[in-house]
A = this chain, B = another copy of it.
Amino acid sequence: MIHKLPPLKQMLKQLQQVPYLASKNLYRVAVHFLDMDDQALEQFCKSLADAKKNLEKCSICCAWKERQRVCLFCFDTKRDQSVVCVVEAWQDLLAIEKTGGYKGVYHVLGGSICPLDGIGPEQLSIELLVQRTKTDIKEIILALNQTPEGEATSAYIAQKLIGTVIISCLAQGLPVGASLEYMDRLTVYKAISERRPF
């Protein structure tokens, strides 16, 4: 029936490309937009276009920043510019910022090495990171995801930078609130083998 309503078909095709929108909810989302008043829809589209127009990636750390303004991290004198935390994506940066416990700067790679998906080191901002470490940088924290791709990327970066800076990585062990009984074997193994003085 949808193919008999071309504007609707076109809209559904576009909505299908939005990630994390389950196809079973697609019709409801379409109806949400159809039921919106003209002004609200215009505002929705304007906010997307404005964000796209006014934001760009910082040429140093690759995090999002406002165009014509300096990066919130790279030009913040209160931050320790000699410690760089390397993350896969900007969302990971936000997760670390939310903790409020990190006062260094960041480097957003833009993904992790995954040959199956055609993502090699050239597709990520690894070369930029290597160039960056030639300036006043003392420590690199590898804060990549604990996935095979994330670990491979960490290993690749570590091998590139070894001997030039201090390289550290995130602590592995039990998450806060965990019961030993329900944790996976590997996490418990990491927690016991990397035990620390109390």
Q: Chain A interface (Cβ within 8 Å of chain B)?
A: 1-2, 4-8, 10-11, 13-14, 17-22, 25, 27-34, 36, 38, 41-45, 47-55, 64-66, 72, 89-91, 94, 97
The residue in chain B whose Cβ has the minimal distance to the Cβ of A43 is B14
Stoichiometry, as copies per complex, reads 2
Residue from B1, B17, B19, B64 in contact with A34 in the complex, judged by beta carbons closer than 8 Å: B64
Q: Which chain B residues border A7 with CB–CB below 8 Å?
A: 47, 50-51, 53-55, 66
Asked if A48 contacts B11 (CB within 8 A), the reply is yes
Give bound CA distance, A64 to B6, whole Å: 12
The residue in chain B whose Cβ has the minimal distance to the Cβ of A93 is B1
Shortest Cβ distance from residue A25 to the other chain B in the assembled complex, whole angstroms: 4
Shortest Cβ distance from residue A125 to the other chain B in the assembled complex, whole angstroms: 14
Q: Which chain B residues border A30 with CB–CB below 8 Å?
A: 51
Sorted nearest first, the 7 A-B pairs with minimum C-beta distance are A45-B45, A20-B25, A11-B51, A7-B54, A14-B47, A7-B51, A27-B91
Shortest Cβ distance from residue A154 to the other chain B in the assembled complex, whole angstroms: 22
Give bound CA distance, A111 to B19, whole Å: 28
Asked if A19 contacts B10 (CB within 8 A), the reply is no
Asked if B32 contacts A19 (CB within 8 A), the reply is yes
Shortest Cβ distance from residue A131 to the other chain B in the assembled complex, whole angstroms: 23
Residue from B18, B31, B33, B47 in contact with A11 in the complex, judged by beta carbons closer than 8 Å: B47
Shortest Cβ distance from residue A31 to the other chain B in the assembled complex, whole angstroms: 6
Give bound CA distance, A163 to B79, whole Å: 78
Residue from B2, B20, B33 in contact with A28 in the complex, judged by beta carbons closer than 8 Å: B20
Give bound CA distance, A89 to B1, whole Å: 15
Q: Known contacts A19-B29, A20-B25; decide if A50 and B11 are in contact (CB<8 Å).
A: yes
